[in-house]
Amino acid sequence: MGLQKQLLQLFMLLVSSFSCYSSLNQDPLSNYLDKTSAYDNSAYPTYFGTINDEDQDGDFEPNFNYEPDESSNFESFSEVGSPSSSIKVVNVNDFGAKGDGTDATEAFEKAWEEACSSTDGAVLLVPQSKKYLLRKITFSGPCKSELTMKVYGIIEASANRADYKKDTRHWILFQNIQNFKIEGGGTFDGKGDIWWKNSCKIDKSRALTFYNCKNLSVKNLRIRDAQQIHISIEQCFNVQALNLLITAPERSPNTDGIHVAGTRKIQIISCVIKTGDDCISIVSGSQNVQAMDITCGPGHGISIGSLGAGKSEAHVSDIFVDTAKLSGTTNGVRIKSWQGGSGNANKITFQNVYMHNVTNPIIIDQNYCDQTDPCNEQESAVQVKDVVYKNIRGTSASDVAVKFDCSKGYPCRGVVLQNINLVREGGNQAKALCKSVKLTKIGGVTPNCP
Ligand SMILES: *[C@@H]1O[C@H](CO)[C@@H](O)[C@H](O)[C@H]1NC(C)=O
Ligand SMILES: *[C@@H]1O[C@H](CO)[C@@H](O)[C@H](O)[C@H]1NC(C)=O
């Protein structure tokens, strides 16, 4: 009986590790989405409870597994459940990468080819305690099987601008890949200094771009000092971004943390983002975006938009931001659109958000104008509809903690404020400005629209 029980336990263990392996295939996101409707706040690690205690900042650090020991590279991969026996391991060092900070672009290209053409799955290994310099590089799929890139070491951008002459928008581009994971606790360093000095807003350059990927997982990585945007996820489907630490100086221009464009079904979970621009920006074509357990600041906060620039049509919907802490950011949770655009931004929830000294904690700005010429008043606008703000508290760095500056022609509709408590940093009352907005209030709402 005892032996049988042990065997059973062993069997269960194997089953569970294999089911973990196939979890991407089993579409964890849809599981997850099912759960969120019956979302139990107490079951989720939330900042609330401890949130007033500023000394507990350490609690907001995400759960990194930074220091994998080299000996366990393979184990840790099989720990995530892969049948390691059949998986091919492709080490960039075997393709001529030295790991001493010298150019490894060609070695990475060759290693990618090899890994991507494996028919039994592959691990592309970037060893730890090594530093690799990459010029602009593109990793293209489709690959023959599932691929994991394990980055333990440091990958550094070439600081020579001539290396980006042909395409200033991308440093590392992953495109057309299915069932791809990138993880390992390593670092991407965009060496952004030279870019920031020559910064230009048009067509921001990106450190990591994922374009047209399906079933993508990006986790346990540090990304720092990007040229401009740190991670850009474009035209992808079914994405998890988990445990990312993204940092750049507050003064670095246009250094968004995570940019989501044209992507459906994405979860961004347990990320810490301290940069000079938006913490997370979500733009047109994005649908079903969840951001949970997010720590931001400095930076420009969590932003939907800008939408409708240049009279364009924009659509975003089903955005769910839950459990976030923003400190010292210029915005908290923002929706911004240009006049003259069209389309809609709807079904958006911001909940359980703690603000500390945020200049515009809650803001919808339908008169966004980020250009040197003044923006003339125009009739059309992106329709903002069904936006819920729930359990939002903390302090505002400005007098106006709640600002709805909606368009006359297309007022904001279905906006709900529930349990809001925002005061001026230092304790004085803050104000709400509410223009062209149809509001519902539930519970205590401070400040209140006049
Ligand atoms: C992504 O995962 C889903 C769910 O398991 C699977 O059905 C689908 O084939 C995968 N997509 C691609 C492009 O491999
Ligand atoms: C709040 O932010 C403002 C700038 O936005 C800054 O001047 C001030 O020192 C900050 N206060 C605290 C208490 O952090």
Quick one: which ligand is closest to 23's CA?
1
Same domain for 123 and 204 = yes
Name the residue among 197, 272, 187 with its Cα closest to residue 227: 197
- Ligand 1 centroid – CA 411 distance (Å): 40
- Gap between the Cα atoms of 261 and 130, Å rounded: 33
Six-digit token string for 145: 């099987």
pTM over 0.85: no
The neighbouring-strand residues paired with 237 are 214, 264
Distance 233 CA to ligand 1 centre (A): 18
Q: Say which range, 33-37, 297-301, 390-394, has the weakest mean pLDDT.
A: 33-37
State the alpha helices, DSSP H only, in 22-62.
Answer: 28-37
* CA of 398, nearest ligand number: 2
Instruction: Select from 357, 398, 424, 428 the residue to mutate for testing ligand 2; criterion: most ligand atoms less than 8 Å from CB.
Output: 357
Distance 102 CA to ligand 1 centre (A): 37
Structural domain includes residue 383: yes
CA-nearest residue for atom 14, ligand 2, is: 357
Written as one string, the DSSP assignment of 329-350 is -SEEEEEEEETT-EEEEEEEEE
β-pair type (412-424, 154-157): unpaired
Across residues 336-364, what is the average pLDDT? 97
Rounded CA-CA distance 43/39 in Å is 8
Tell which atom from ligand 2 comes closest to the C-alpha of 357: 1
How many whole angstroms from 98 Cα to the centroid of ligand 2? Answer: 46
Nearest-atom number in ligand 2 for the CA of 398 is 5
In the predicted model, what is the mean pLDDT of the chain? 85
Q: Whose CA is nearest to atom 5 of ligand 2?
A: 397
How much is the pLDDT for 85?
59
CA of 284: how far to CAs of 173, 261, 335, in Å? 20, 6, 12
Cα 298 to middle of ligand 1, angstroms: 37
Instruction: Read off the pLDDT band of 450 (50, 70, 90).
Output: confident
Q: Is any atom of ligand 2 closer than 6 Å to the C-beta of 357?
A: yes
327 lines ligand 2 (CB under 6 A): no
Q: Which of 167, 198, 230 is the last residue of a domain?
A: 230
**Total residue count of the chain as it appears in this document:** 450
Residue 76: which pLDDT band, with cuts at 50, 70 and 90? very low
> What pLDDT, on a 0 to 100 scale, did the predictor assign at position 201?
64
Query: Averaged over 130-145, what is the pLDDT?
Result: 97
| 380 DSSP assignment | -
Which pLDDT score, from 0 to 100, does residue 391 have? 98
The pair phi, psi for residue 293, each rounded to 5°, is 60, 60
- The CATH number for 104's domain is 2.160.20.10
Mean pLDDT of 54-70: 36
- Which strands, in side-by-side order, build the sheet including 302-307? 137-140, 170-175, 206-211, 229-234, 258-261, 280-283, 302-307, 331-338, 360-368, 400-405, 431-435
Give the largest Cα separation in the chain, rounded.
81
Q: Which residues pair with 246 in a beta bridge?
A: 223, 273
Give burial (CB, 10 Å; 0-12/13-18/19+) of 42.
Answer: exposed
pLDDT at 197: 85
The encoded tokens of residue 311 equal 């009279």
| Mean pLDDT of the region 281-297 | 98
How far apart CA 182 and CA 127 sit, in angstroms, is 13
Q: Which of 211, 230, 249 is the endpoint of a domain?
A: 230
Q: How confident is the model at residue 194 (pLDDT cuts 50, 70, 90)?
A: confident
Per-residue DSSP letters for 209-248? EEES-EEEEEEEEEEES-SSEEEEEES-EEEEEEEEEEE-
Same domain, 284 and 371: yes
Q: Which of 20, 21, 27, 145 to mutate to test ligand 1, by most ligand atoms within 8 A of the CB atom?
A: 27
In our burial notation (b when 16+ CB lie closer than 10 A, e otherwise), range 164-184 reads beeebbbbbbbbebbbbbbbb
Residue whose Cα lies nearest atom 10 of ligand 2: it is 357
Taking CA atoms only, the protein residue closest to ligand 2 atom 3 is 397
> What span, in angstroms and rounded, lies between the C-alpha atoms of 382 and 413?
12
Would the pLDDT of 65 be above 60? no
For ligand 2, whether the C-beta of 359 sits within 6 Å is yes
Nearest to 270 by CA among 322, 318, 216: 322
| 222 and 300, same domain (yes or no) | no
> Considering only CA atoms, which residue is closest to atom 6 of ligand 2?
397
Do 198 and 118 fall within a single domain? yes
Residue 104 domain-assigned? yes
204 — pLDDT class (breaks 50, 70, 90): confident
Listed range (9-13, 236-240, 265-269, 429-433) with the worst mean pLDDT: 9-13
- Atom of ligand 1 at shortest range from CA of 214: 13
How does 329-344 read in b/e, with b if 16+ C-beta sit within 10 Å? bbbbbbbbbbbbbbbb
Pocket lining for ligand 1, CB < 6 angstroms: 25-27, 178-179, 214-215, 238
In a domain, 391, yes or no: yes
Structure-block tokens of residue 422 = 């925002």
> Which ligand is closest in space to the CA of residue 25?
1
Give per-residue pLDDT as tens, 261-282: 999 999 999 999 999 999 999 9
Ligand nearest to the CA of 30: 1
C-alpha 440 chain-centroid distance: 30
- Cα separation, 369 vs 392, whole angstroms: 27
Q: Which of 163, 196, 230 is the last residue of a domain?
A: 230
Question: In one letter, which amino acid is 274?
Answer: K
Same domain (yes/no): 205, 299: no
Ligand number nearest CA of 31 is 1
Q: Is 66 within the bounds of a domain?
A: no
pLDDT digits (tens, 9 = 90+) for 80-128: 344 455 789 999 999 999 999 999 999 999 999 999 999 999 999 999 9
Residue % of the chain over a pLDDT of 70: 80
Average pLDDT over residues 242-256: 97
**DSSP bridge partners of 429:** none
Judge if 208 and 308 occupy the same domain.
no
Instruction: Looking at the structure, tell me whether residues 288 and 430 fall in a common domain.
Output: yes
Do 286 and 226 lie in a common domain?
Answer: no
Whether residues 295 and 442 share a domain: the answer is yes
Distance 295 CA to ligand 2 centre (A): 18
Residue 298, φ and ψ in degrees, nearest 5: -75, 170
Are 169 and 109 contained in the same domain? yes
For ligand 2, what atom is nearest to the CA of residue 328? 2
pLDDT at 4: 53
E-strand stretches of 25-146: 88-91, 100-103, 122-126, 131-134, 137-140
Model confidence at 421: pLDDT above 90: yes
Q: Is 257 part of any domain?
A: no
Which pLDDT score, from 0 to 100, does residue 164 have?
A: 87
Q: Which of 230, 300, 315, 356 is catalytic?
A: 300
Same domain assignment for residues 226 and 282: no
> Binning pLDDT at 50, 70 and 90, where does residue 30 land?
very low
Based on the residue annotation, tell me whether 170 is a catalytic residue of this protein.
no
CA of 396 to the centre of ligand 2 (A): 9
Name the pLDDT band for 346 (thresholds 50, 70, 90). Answer: very high
Q: Which of 22-31, 72-81, 101-110 has the highest mean pLDDT?
A: 101-110
Report the pLDDT value the prediction gives residue 299, as an integer from 0 to 100.
98
Q: How far is the CA of 128 from the centre of ligand 1 (A)?
A: 31
Q: How many domains does the chain have?
A: 2
Q: Which domain range does residue 131 map to?
A: 86-230
Judgement on whether residues 166 and 290 belong to the same structural domain of the protein: no
Q: Flag whether 4 is in a domain.
A: no
Residue 39 lies in a domain: no
Q: Rounded to an integer, what distance in angstroms lies between the CA atom of residue 14 and that of residue 6?
A: 12
Look-up of token digits 């297309």 = 410
* pLDDT per residue as tens digits for the range 139-175: 999 999 999 999 999 999 999 888 988 888 999 999 9
